[in-house]
Amino acid sequence: MQAAAQDEDFRRHDDAGSNQRPPQVPDEGLDLWQEEVVADGANAEAVLVAVNDNGANDDEIDNVQDESDSSESEEEEEQEEDVNPAGPAAVELPLGPFDHRRMQLTHAERQWALDIKQAIEDEPELDSVSDFWVAQLALIDQGDTAASLERAHQMQGLRQEYGILDTYEHGRQAIHDFMDLFPELLLSFSFNHVYGTYVLVFDTAKLYAKTLNTKPGAMATWLSAIYYVNHCMSPDLEAIRSGVVYIVECEGFEWSKHFGLQIFKKFWLELGTVYPFQFKQMRCFHTGLCFTLMVSMVKQYLPAKVHSKFTVGNLCSLGRLDNVYYSPGVEFARNVLKLRLGESLDRRYRNEASFSL
């Protein structure tokens, strides 16, 4: 009965004209991407990065002069305002996840998108795509129309090969099927309000190469789910600009058991190089020798510009990341994860339906 009620929460009734949206849940209090992890021998201490890293410097503060004849208390209040991290000197936080400005394009971006849209319309073998998709291509390929056209061909082939319908309903089902196939692989999904980006946390020791290679339909389930999770991390144009962040638990990872180079190559060539997204950072925690070597081998397939975006050797003072994100319980955490992914996927398709160039 509880599962059925949850399904109803996610179900969209567009045909009936309903505006119902999946329920929203708050972000986690602990976001490891906002932490600098400092290792001292066997000890690891998580130190929260200051939000106002780029606030007023000492020279700027020293140059503030009060030329008025106000009282001492007023002078103190004015000086306090000048150096207050929440005052004018503070760095403005990124747009929140529901801010309508996240769907705006610059003049140059819009022109790129219009050129790509025309090129797709002139290509008889390509199906029509939404203006949102065209804008996503424009933001990632930065006006390289030929690259976007090739990517559009590859995306169409990917959807046809794996039966990806590119709908909310199919996406939600694909993600749930994937979570059933690898129950403890995905740990968390959230929006980072400080950096304005979406963060996905997963556990590499819970992805099994044998399952992908031998279980019928497992590879298609995996690739389809990643396609839709990428949608969840790209619900609006600002999210596409900002890029995605991955936090990865690596303790217990074994090369042949959990992944393998052939599986990575298949993922990277069929989806990783095709789906238009901006890779911002991957922070790998508790990396042993095996995973560190894998990262070195994987880099040969990646553009040089993203090599520095991998960081290994990070430690968490609370232990494995599943201990952090599965508190207070696995079932609760999985339900929250499904809610968040479902809400973001829903927002993606609603934005796609309403956006026009």
Given a cut of 60, whether residue 260 has pLDDT beyond it is yes
The residues, ordered by sequence, that sit 6+ positions from 232 with a Cβ below 8 Å of its Cβ are 175, 189, 198, 341, 344, 345, 348
Q: Which of 333, 327, 251 is nearest to 284 (CA)?
A: 251
Q: Do residues 130 and 237 touch, judged by C-beta distance below 8 A?
A: no
Please tell me the CATH code under which domain 173-354 is placed: 3.40.525.10
Task: Name, of 267-271, 294-298, 344-348, the range with top average pLDDT.
Answer: 344-348
CA atoms within 13 A on the CB side of 344: 28
Q: Which helix or strand (DSSP H or E) is residue 151 part of? A: helix 145-162
User: What pLDDT sits at residue 129?
Assistant: 94
**Measured between alpha carbons, how far is 120 from 7 in angstroms, rounded to an integer?**
37
Task: Give residue 54's pLDDT band: very low, low, confident or very high (50, 70, 90).
Answer: very low
Q: What is the mean pLDDT of the chain?
A: 77
Instruction: Report the amino acid identity of residue 78.
Output: E
- Confirm if 172 and 342 have CB atoms less than 8 A apart: yes
d(CA 291, CA 239): 29
CA dihedral in degrees (175, 120, 235, 196; nearest 10)? Answer: 130
pLDDT, tens digit, 9 for 90 and up, residues 19-40? 344 444 444 434 454 443 333 2
Could you report the per-residue pLDDT of 59-111, keeping only the tens digit for each?
322 332 333 344 444 444 444 444 333 333 444 668 888 899 999 999 999 99
Span 191-240, pLDDT tens digits = 998 888 999 999 989 999 889 989 999 999 999 999 999 999 999 999 99
**How far apart are the C-alpha atoms of 243 and 12, rounded to whole Å?**
28
Which has the higher per-residue pLDDT, 161 or 315?
161
CB atoms within 10 A of CB 100: 8
pLDDT tens, residue by residue, 124-182: 999 999 999 999 999 999 999 999 999 999 999 999 999 999 999 999 999 999 999 99
pLDDT surpasses 90 at 302: no
